[in-house]
Amino acid sequence: MLKFAFYISHHGFGHTTRMAALAKKFNEFGIFVYIRSAKPDYLFQDLNPHLYEKEDTICDVGVKHKANLEPDKAATRLALLQLMGKRQEIIDREVDFLRKEKVDLIITDIPWLPVEAGTYAEIPVFAISNFDWIFIYDKLFGKQTDLKPVLNTIFGLYQRVDYAFRLPLSSTKSMGSFRKIEKTGLLAAYKPPNPELKKALGIDSQSPVLTCSFGGEGEMNLNWKNMCSAFPGTVISTRELKEIPNYIQIPSDFDFSSLISISDILLTKPGYGSFAEAIQSGTFLIYYPRKDYPEEEVLIKGISSYPQKIQLPELNLSVSEWKNVFHTALTFSGQRKIIPNRNKQVASLILQRYIELHYSQKKLNSIFDIGSNNLNYALCEAGKSVPVHTAQIKTGIGREYKIVKGTVRIKREAIKRFKSLVSNFMAYDQNIPSSKFVIATGIHRQSPQLQQLSEWFNKKWKAKYRLLKEGEEAELAYLAAKDLIPDKQSAIIIDIGGFSTQFIYSEPDSNIDRMSIPIGLLTIRKTVQEGKKLNNVLDKIAKSIPFWKADMIICVGLTATFLAKIVKRSRYYRPDELNGCRISLKELRTLKDILESGKNEEIANYAMEPESLDILYYSIQYYIFLLDRLQSSGFLVCYYGIATGYNQKLNKINKR
């Protein structure tokens, strides 16, 4: 599993919201993100709670402000010097963190000290922003020559960055401190318009909405009474105002992205976050520039082709002047423009550049294991048993099936949903320079409908499709788990899927016995739903399993790994830390008792799929039964699944 560390500027909220949007996309591809930021936790509420960890850390000071958000040069200078006085302390702390967590990549927006930490920790560093701090500080402190050593240090660190990505609303000068720089599309937090939001706020569906936001650095002087009196609808902001009938105060942690998407007008100062979130929704922009702030020029120039905007000459307008402004905005008859975000494309580009940087001389394989309920992904270096990255998504393709004349039938809607989910995931891998392979198991063996997916994978994704036989699947489970077997010991390897279970008996002299039974967690679930008792289902399985005796039992894949996360009470999903851990029969019985007592909240926070606790319960029962049957007190977890086993098999084939 790849692990990326995000270092986010403490300046304003725009850096934070766009980096949270980027982290969300990396989470979709199974990448674990460490957030190094002291901004409020609610700004990261859309991230996968199992795939990110946040620590309040400050690595830059941005620009300090006076009243009306004007730059305070003296306060900024003092804060900058104080930060650099703590330089060694910050570097030591971050190097220790990076090494301890085995971080693969640093992404900074746009503190410079993490670049130095990355140098010492021997980790590549990417930068992403619409400006760098040299651009800002050089203009603010241009005549203060005694600060040149500090600015030269910042410039020198930026020069070490491996790749820099320049966002829109920028210029070549505003990001001029980097060697390798690449332009990207818009990166912004986004929520699709929610028609229920107006209702929830008590706003009539036909009423115009004006949202006011001046970022995370304070307020600007504004005659709110005049402005609200002039607006023929509802005005919304976080400011506390009294006795204004058409005004709604919202809490500071309100989701502004969802609010902007339903607003007719956004009143704001120039800022990347505000501008980006407005132009991607087609919201009319009314803005008032700050004085002497270098970023204003590139931000305003960046929206020059966006027609739905008005730049105010001042904020303290009369009621009649505000009415004229709002009339112009609300009756805008020009051709409206929307500039959609490119969040997924930006994440995919960064991932591509990381892989090219780190594995340019290596042969890579992307392997997609499409089972009965999940897609399991492994990006592997050819010949290596430990993958570069693994991830999974729940497709639910086998959740609702029927048996018609001995054949598994899948609803068309389920196949359509499967293609949509898989396409969304595979788009991240598409530009990785790797050979693409799809291996199909479980329900795919029993459904001619799903076997027709081979053409879709081949044509759309240029991926070689292979339907595995039961024996082949068992062999791959063995290859995935074999590194956990000590020398001169025997092992039973078990891989429980949705539609089948693979058993492999491995002896010290490399003799392997294997078998597959057409029973898995989804078939057990369906059988129980049809009224049969779970114990009767398991008794039927017992007749199929030989009385093997072995030194150890290893359980392979997601079923075992997800269970281990709960048993070990792991708040975050870092499967490499679960690989090789032991789950005891006692722990399984304790977890079973908790589920049967109805105390689901005790485990819901640790479950990767809390909506599927019935499947979890069946898996626990199944494991308990198997351990009793095989006379064992526990098993080892192998989180590497058959996708990594297939990579090893490809290497053997290529050597022939």
- pLDDT 10s digits, 544-575: 787 788 999 999 999 999 999 999 999 999 99
Q: Where are any strands of DSSP class E within 23-77?
A: 32-36, 52-55
Pairing mode, if any, of strands 464-467 and 491-496? unpaired
**Cβ(394)–Cβ(434) below 8 Å:** no
Convert 366-378 into a string of H (helix), E (strand) and C (coil).
EEEEECCCEEEEE
The encoded tokens of residue 77 equal 């200078």
Q: What are the boundaries of each domain within the chain?
A: 3-183, 195-330, 361-470, 477-654
pLDDT tens per residue, range 479-491: 999 999 999 999 9
Candidates 538, 553, 541; CA nearest to 618 is 538
CATH fold group of domain 361-470: Nucleotidyltransferase; domain 5 (3.30.420)
Q: Where are any strands of DSSP class E within 314-429?
A: 364-370, 374-381, 389-394, 401-404, 407-410
Q: How far apart are CA 530 and CA 536, in angstroms?
A: 13
pLDDT tens per residue, range 323-336: 999 999 999 998 99
Residues of the chain above pLDDT 90, percent: 82
Candidates 394, 414, 367, 418; CA nearest to 607 is 394
Question: Does residue 218 have a pLDDT over 70?
Answer: no
Residues forming beta bridges with residue 608, ordered by sequence position: none
What is the pLDDT of the chain when averaged over all its residues? Answer: 93
Task: Report the pLDDT averaged over residues 110-133.
Answer: 98
Q: How far apart are CA 93 and CA 561, in angstroms?
A: 31
Candidates 469, 235, 182; CA nearest to 345 is 182
Q: Exposure string (b/e) for 21-55, b if CB count within 10 Å is 16 or more?
A: bbbbbbbbbbbbbbbbbebeeebbebbbebbbbbe
CATH tag, 195-330 = 3.40.50.2000
Q: CA 74, 80, 83: angle at the middle one, nearest 5?
A: 140
Residue-level length of the chain = 656
What integer pLDDT is reported at residue 260 of this predicted model?
96
Q: How far apart are CA 281 and CA 255, in angstroms?
A: 15
Rounded to 10°, the helix 558-567/613-629 angle is: 100
Q: Which CATH class is domain 3-183?
A: alpha beta
pLDDT confidence band for 656 (50 / 70 / 90): low
Q: How many CA atoms lie within 13 A of 43 on its CB side?
A: 28
CATH superfamily of 477-654: Exopolyphosphatase. Domain 2 (3.30.420.150)
Q: How far apart are CA 551 and CA 505, in angstroms?
A: 11
Q: How far apart are CA 102 and CA 124, in angstroms?
A: 12
Residues forming beta bridges with residue 402, ordered by sequence position: 409
What Å distances lie between residue 547 and 262, 502, 503, CA to CA?
64, 15, 12
What integer pLDDT is reported at residue 216 of this predicted model?
58
Whether 195-330 shares its CATH topology with 477-654 is answered: no
What integer pLDDT is reported at residue 580 of this predicted model?
96
Q: How far apart are CA 175 and CA 165, in angstroms?
A: 9
Q: How many CA atoms lie within 13 A of 329 on its CB side?
A: 28
Residue 586 CB neighbour total at 10 angstroms: 10
